[in-house]
Each structure stands twice: as structure tokens, then as C-alpha cells.
Structure 1
């Protein structure tokens, strides 16, 4: 069955390894007949800072309104980003702060701290690059960035299941290894 897939590049640079992985995924998904849209956060024009917190919601810039529309349209979300300082890049976090708003991505229950996710019916795949060896990130650091994405961001908004694929360590990866990673990203897109 063909899906509507949104690929979001969370690395600020499109010419990065993350950018190449995102492009490979898109090519694989399109080759399989899926309908694909892409967002490269580094090319969007928006203020990633919540200047008043959620006390006063800032008006959304046109690029963020288009991003919300694309998220609504999608059945499957793919996020491609690096792990920096154990977590997601600031640009990606700022995007979530601004786009996944109350009333769009979640709704608090009346007189409760519990919330209902409003983006149910969508799944996600995280393609993540690391300089830390993936086993070390998992067993020593306990995957703080993955937990944040799976549970406190996407899961909170009702997006399930969330699959994670690690590519690393990047710093010492040979060109041949990077080519294998790109082939894997293509295959993931083709089998979405």
C-alpha cells in the first residue's frame, strides 16, 4: 500500500551526511510509488525561539504553517538528524517548540496534566547519525535523544510506532561504510 511520507531533515546543512541520507530515503520511497514531501529545516524561515513560552503563542511564519499542513497530510514521518551533545540539534528542537502546539499536536484534558495526542494514526522513522558508537550511546548514555524523540515529543503527540536507525560512528566511517548507509536509507524508503 502506498503511503504519504514526509521526510524532515533536522540537520541545518543540506549537503551533510544527514542530507544525503534524507535524499536516499526519498529516492527509495518514490521508486516504490509512495507520495513524498520533504522539509529541510535549514532552509525554512522561522524563529526557533519561544519568546513567551506557551503563555502567548507566537504567530506562525508561513513556512511553519506549511509544515503543519504537511504533518497533517502525512501518514508516515521520517526525521533525519545528528545527535549533538546527546540529543537533537537546537534547530529541530526549535521547530518542535514552534510547530507542535496545543490544539494542533496535543490537547490537555480539562483540569488535568494529562494530554491527548492529536497526531494519532501516524508512524515515524528516525534516521540518526552519531559520532558516539551506537552501542555506547545505548548502554552508557541510555539514548537520551532517542527517548526524547520517541516518548516526550512524538509519543506525547500520539505518533506511534517510532522506529530508530542509527548510523555511526560517523567520524571514523570509511567512504564504503557511508555508501552502505545510503543504500540502507534507500531500502528503508523503498520498504516504508
Structure 2
């Protein structure tokens, strides 16, 4: 299994970075994971801004030379892992900008007759590891599960990805946040995951 990890946090001395390290550590000890690539969007200097004009059209995003290497990573991957914080009930703008550009028509999906398009990323399971300052149940109780609904239904199902696993860790800025236990949980999951 070839795994692509997309990390979205600007600080390498952070808890999010510690979660990334546990993903890497567990994956490197998992005999099912043959290859691992990590894309750090901030370190990469990824430009999240969409630009459309007479030279750059939305319908041509699937062949934009500036994002070709990222499309190749997604095509290469058997499994995609996202590590990011939840800010204002959703992923950071940097990650959403990546999604806006990469999950484009004729690469991630193809329009067809009917209500929904044909998802072109079928068979690529996704894992979302996310952290937040608020309580773990906050997105469910106060936001009607907006984060998971956005990621699962509005994004992944739309492009054909049906298998999505979420780790939403709350209270991450609290001394009682059980951070070590949660880091261990991520390590154990990636050490054993088969597909």
C-alpha cells in the first residue's frame, strides 16, 4: 500500500506536528505500507489561491502544469491521510485551497447525466486526523457534524471515495486533553491498518 500524507499546519513545534510524526512512525512499522510520501503544504509553499482569467480557465484545472506534481501524488497513492486542525468548524484555508485546485473536474470527478458525477478517485480510502481547541463533541452537538459532513459528503463521496475514517481530537489545548493517549492511538492505528 502506497500512502500519501498531507499535513497542514504552519508550526513544526506543535501538537499537530506530533500527530504527523506518529502517523509516519506507525506507517514505517507497518508491513502493509510499502511506500510513504509526506506533503507539508506550508513547508512546500503551496499557493491556495484560485486564479481564473483569460489565460487560466476553471475547466482546465485538471491539466494545470503548476499542480501536476500534486495530481501525480494523488494518482500514485492507494491511501490518503490528512493531518490538520479544525478552525472555525472546518479545515484550514490552506487545505481547502489545495482541495479546490486538486479535486478538479476530469481529474477527481467527471460530469455525467444525472444528479451526481462519476467519482474518479474510487478505491482510495482516506483518513482524517484533526485537532481542535474545543471539546470533542463540539462539532457534533453545536455544528450538526458540519466538519464530517463537509469532508465525507461534499468532498470525498463526490469524487468516489467511500471509505473515510475520522479521528477528531478535542480539548487539545487543555492540560487534561490526554494528548499522549491520543498520539498513541494514532501510532497504533497506522502501525496495524491494512487498507
| TM-score for the superposition, normalised by structure 2 | 0.87
Offset at residue 55 of structure 1 (A): 5.3
Offset at residue 166 of structure 1 (A): 1.4
Offset at residue 47 of structure 1 (A): 2.4
Q: How is 1:35-54 mapped onto 2 (pairs within 5 angstroms)?
A: 35-52=35-52, 54=58
SS in 2 for 1:127: strand
Q: How is 1:93-172 mapped onto 2 (pairs within 5 angstroms)?
A: 93-110=96-113, 112=114, 114-172=116-174
Q: How is 1:168-187 mapped onto 2 (pairs within 5 angstroms)?
A: 168-174=170-176, 177-187=178-188
CA distance in 2, matches of 1:12, 1:151: 27
Q: Is the 8 A contact 2:137 2:170 kept in 1?
A: no
Provide runs of 4+ in structure 1 moved above 6 Å: none
How many residue pairs get matched?
A: 186
Pair 1:71 & 2:88 matched: no
> CA deviation digits over 1:21-50, x for unaligned, max 9?
011111101111212111111112332111
Q: Is the 8 A contact 2:116 2:158 kept in 1?
A: no
Pair 1:59 & 2:64 matched: yes
> CA deviation digits over 1:55-91, x for unaligned, max 9?
5648342xx3222111111111111111101111000
Please report the RMSD computed on the Cα atoms of aligned residues, expressed in angstroms.
1.9
Q: Can you give the 5+ residue segments of structure 2 that lack an aligned partner in the other structure?
A: none
| TM-score for the superposition, normalised by structure 1 | 0.88
SS in 2 for 1:29: helix
Q: How is 1:74-85 mapped onto 2 (pairs within 5 angstroms)?
A: 74-85=77-88
Q: Can you give the 5+ residue segments of structure 1 that lack an aligned partner in the other structure?
A: none
Q: Is the 8 A contact 1:60 1:98 kept in 2?
A: no
